[in-house]
Amino acid sequence: GPQSWHELFPAACAGVAQSPIDIRPERTIYNPDLKDFALWYDPPKPGSRMKIKNNGHAIQVNTEGEFYFTNGGLQHVYKVEQFHFHWGSEDHMGSEHLLDSIAYPIEMHIVSYNSDLYGDIGEAVTEKGGLAVLGVLFEVQEQPNPVYDPIIQALQHVKDPEMDKEEEIEAVSLRNLLPEDMSKYYRYNGSLTTPGCFETVTWTVFHQKQKISFGQEYSERLNGSPAPIDAINEDIPEWIQDPLVDNFRPVQPLNNRVVYRSFKLKDIYAPQLTYNIQPNSQPEPEPKKTGKVATVYSKQDNNSANSVHISFLSCLIVFIISLL
């Protein structure tokens, strides 16, 4: 399985710029050149279909219509080829990338190739900078996300470990699969997370998560159950015949690589301010914000303004974040 790919494929999967990685936001570097993405795409036409298949290591969906993106710190235009999912058997695992050492139950990869320089993904896959992958992490919520229903309903038809077994599903808008906020993301150079692990990928991992309900997530787990014995093809390698669940590769060493972010840490970390209000003071009005710190005023019996004490730790946090 993924845990032993570096041993099964030492020439390909034991490099020094492998993916996935554990992204530690406080160890990343802010890069103001990582601007918003520009997207060009054709919305799905009524009645159009997408093909979904089990490729042996993930559920892959081939896109319908053309979808291109650029900017976002990229020097070329990239064309989306397919997207696929990695998930776990429990809530605390499933994603390939970790965010601050935390795993999420599902991760989606939108795989694209450099269409400025290469005619198809086959030409681009072995070339440095030939691929760009958009990574989306998922959180569990109470309400189902209807965007993903066609994909989840088709999983039961492609769960058997037969390579290239395909089903057709109702076409979905790829833009709807992406986070609403695409402006906050992490960027690093890495590899494909499956053999041959080519170190040709410009990775983007979005900070904002997509949502999926427990019922939808549980359906993915059920559809990753083992296939009947008579459905196993003896010609398929043993590592592919495993149930299609926990199909995530462990994080790889960062080595000397640098991970960049498109945003300042203060945009995602709200400092927790503590106030020391004297007893018996009257209820405070709504805070009046002055700059980055909210100042609260309250009246004492002598009508003098009550001092507000902000903890030293909070001041230190505000100061540090203001420098990032």
pLDDT in tens, 95-136: 999 999 999 999 999 999 999 999 999 999 999 999 999 999
pLDDT at 65: 84
pLDDT at 323: 55
**H-helix segments, the chain:** 5-8, 10-13, 121-124, 149-154, 174-177, 214-222, 238-241, 312-323
Would you call 6 a catalytic residue per the annotation?
Answer: no
Weakly modelled stretches of the chain, pLDDT under 70: 1-11, 159-164, 214-244, 270-324
Pick the catalytic residue from 57, 84, 109, 207.
57
Q: What is the per-residue pLDDT across 276-314, written as a single tens digit (0 to 9) for each? A: 444 454 544 444 444 443 333 333 444 444 444 444 445
Domain ranges of the chain: 2-263, 270-324
pLDDT at 159: 67
pTM recorded for the entire structure: 0.76
pLDDT at 125: 97
Residue type, 119: G
> In angstroms, rounded to a whole number, what is the distance separating the alpha carbons of residues 16 and 28?
18
Cβ-contact 192, 5 below 8 angstroms = no
Residue type, 311: S
CATH class label, 2-263: alpha beta
